[in-house]
């Protein structure tokens, strides 16, 4: 299997169908049977699971899992990692903010790197739906904290499109402690600790609307979660056992 793409979904009945259709048709033309799309729906209270089940029928390149209990985006993606069989394993958001062509750019450019991550904050990135001033400020404060606490020089750890080679990714799965918003940071931190080379690439990004993100609430949660994650990965981690 050449490629595995994981798409986590939580109450995405208005967007998941279009995203799956776009990704499936695009990669079917490129990879024929040599790819898989794994959809992980968790804690849904709408018709997302039903839409997924109907879409994957008679498509051998599609897999899915429905998790009835509450898990974060990170928990859903980790479950997808466990299922994935591709030599390249990545994930993308259910809202199609990173469309298939933009995701394919990660595949084409990963080269000798262990991972390629999309970035909205490097030269060459195209933001088709500009974020609000509040979200931009919150994003940059978060990035400063990540740089200071984790000694990582990425400009955008939170963009929802990332791709990794199978072996280095599978090796660090047991080390990931976070299933919430800090999952991406945890993943990249552990990859970096193992000496993996990660390439940050400009992305064409188009937020589709319908986001459930409450920026004020989420910003506070992120600040707490980042601090907690840093302590978990420090000599003080016994406090959180």
In this predicted model, what pLDDT tens digit does every residue of 76-97 receive, in sequence order?
A: 999 999 999 999 999 999 999 9
Give all domains of the chain, ordered by start, each with its CATH number. Answer: 3-129+160-208 (3.90.550.10)
CA distance 37 to 218: 28
| CA distances for 179 relative to 8, 12, 74, 75, 204, angstroms | 12, 19, 4, 5, 26
> pLDDT value at position 121?
95
Place of tokens 């799309």: 37
- Whether 203 and 129 have beta carbons less than 8 Å apart is answered as no
Alpha-helical segments (H) within the chain: 16-31, 48-56, 73-83, 100-109, 133-150, 166-172, 183-193, 215-232
Give SS3 for 58.
coil
Digit-coded pLDDT (tens) for 207-240 = 876 555 556 667 778 888 899 999 998 755 544 4
pTM equals 0.91
């Amino acid at each position: 299997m050449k490629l595995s793409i994981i798409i986590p979904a939580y109450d995405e009945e208005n967007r998941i169908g279009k995203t799956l259709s776009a990704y499936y048709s695009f990669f079917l033309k490129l990879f024929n049977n040599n790819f898989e799309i794994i959809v992980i729906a968790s804690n849904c209270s709408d018709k997302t699971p039903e839409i997924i089940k109907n879409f994957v029928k008679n498509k051998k390149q599609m897999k899915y899992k429905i998790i009835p209990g509450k898990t974060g985006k990170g928990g859903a993606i980790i479950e997808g990692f466990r299922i994935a069989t591709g030599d390249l394993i990545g994930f993308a958001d259910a809202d199609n903010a990173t469309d298939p062509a933009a995701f394919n750019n990660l595949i084409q450019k990963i080269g000798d790197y262990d991972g390629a991550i999309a970035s909205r904050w490097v030269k060459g990135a195209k933001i088709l739906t500009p974020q609000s001033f509040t979200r931009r400020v919150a994003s940059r404060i978060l990035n400063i904290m990540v740089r200071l606490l984790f000694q990582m020089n990425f400009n955008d750890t939170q963009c929802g499109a990332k791709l990794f080679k199978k072996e280095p990714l599978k090796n660090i799965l047991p080390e990931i402690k976070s299933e919430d918003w800090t999952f991406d940071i945890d993943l990249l931190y552990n990859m970096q600790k193992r000496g993996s080379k990660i390439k940050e690439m400009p992305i064409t990004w188009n937020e589709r609307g319908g986001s459930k993100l409450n920026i004020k609430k989420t910003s506070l949660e992120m600040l707490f979660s980042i601090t907690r994650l840093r302590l978990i990965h420090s000599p003080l981690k016994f406090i959180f056992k």
